[in-house]
Structure 1
Amino acid sequence: MNLALWISAWVLAVVALVGGVSKTFVTKEKLAAAHGGGWTEGVDGRSVKALGVLELFAAVGLVLPALADRAPVMVPVTAACWVLLMIGAMVTHGRRGESGFVALNLAYLALAAFIAWGRFGPTPFSG
């Protein structure tokens, strides 16, 4: 179980890192032109960048606290926050009729929920 939780956290951290880098450092216009980037049309550029920064923090929060053995409870807290972020993403893509992205966000949500459940519950980091 511990290995599955670690793998899940790393996979989700990579997803968050890629999304965070693109939203933080790629222009809103380039994001809007990319597949699945249409959601940026009605969103202020600063809001897109803020989401990117949140995703960068999530990438760090999913693994670094446990690796550094400093406040490892932040791993499941970060995963729980990711669940909320994915609910928002699902609503946004759902309103646009982008069912493929809703399904992808649901998969990320399930992964985050597994991490939060596992680390809050049966397999917490020993402190």
Structure 2
Amino acid sequence: MNIALWIAQGLLALVYLAAGGLKAVRPREQLVTSGNFDWMKDSSDAGVKAVGLVEILGALGVTLPSLTGIAPILTPIAAIGLAVVQVGALRVHLVRNERQPLPANMLLLLLAAFTAIGRFLD
């Protein structure tokens, strides 16, 4: 079970570091024109940067506490936070009638829930 949890944590960290890093570093206009982030058309620059920062912090929170043994209770709490991010993402995509990202959002939500439950019980 521990190996499966580490795999889930690693996947979450990779995805959220990449996605959050893009949102935090690149200008919103550049992301919108890339065609992969249509939802950003309705968001402010500060909102996109905030989402990126939350994703980066979640990626760090889902791995570092367990890895270092310092305050490991923060790992499942961070996983809950990432699950909340995905619930928000699902809502945004459903309201905008964007069906393509939904499977990835659901997968990330399930990975975050699995990590949270598994690490709380660990």
Would you call these one fold, judging by a TM-score over 0.5?
yes
The one-letter amino acid of 2:28's match is K
CA distance in 2, matches of 1:35, 1:105: 18
Mean alpha-carbon deviation: is it higher for 28-37 or for 88-97?
Answer: 28-37
| Partner of residue 105, structure 2 | 105
Overall identity of the aligned pairs, in %: 36
Aligned length: 122
The one-letter amino acid of 1:108's match is L
The one-letter amino acid of 2:73's match is V
CA distance in 1, matches of 2:94, 2:34: 18
- TM-superposed CA distance for 1:36, in Å, is 2.8
CA distance in 2, matches of 1:34, 1:91: 22
* TM-score normalized by the length of structure 2: 0.96
Unaligned residue ranges in structure 2 (runs of 5+): none
Unaligned residue ranges in structure 1 (runs of 5+): none
Q: Secondary structure at the match of 1:62?
A: helix
CA distance in 1, matches of 2:89, 2:46: 17
- TM-superposed CA distance for 1:34, in Å, is 2.2
CA distance in 2, matches of 1:106, 1:72: 25
| Partner of residue 93, structure 2 | 93
> Deviations along 1:23-75, whole A, 9 cap, x unmatched?
00011011112233110111110110011011110111011011111001111
Divergent runs of 4+, >3 A = none
| Partner of residue 56, structure 1 | 56
* TM-score normalized by the length of structure 1: 0.93
| Partner of residue 117, structure 1 | 117
- TM-superposed CA distance for 1:84, in Å, is 0.7
| Partner of residue 73, structure 2 | 73
Alpha carbon RMSD of aligned pairs, Å? 0.8
The one-letter amino acid of 1:34's match is S
- TM-superposed CA distance for 1:116, in Å, is 0.5
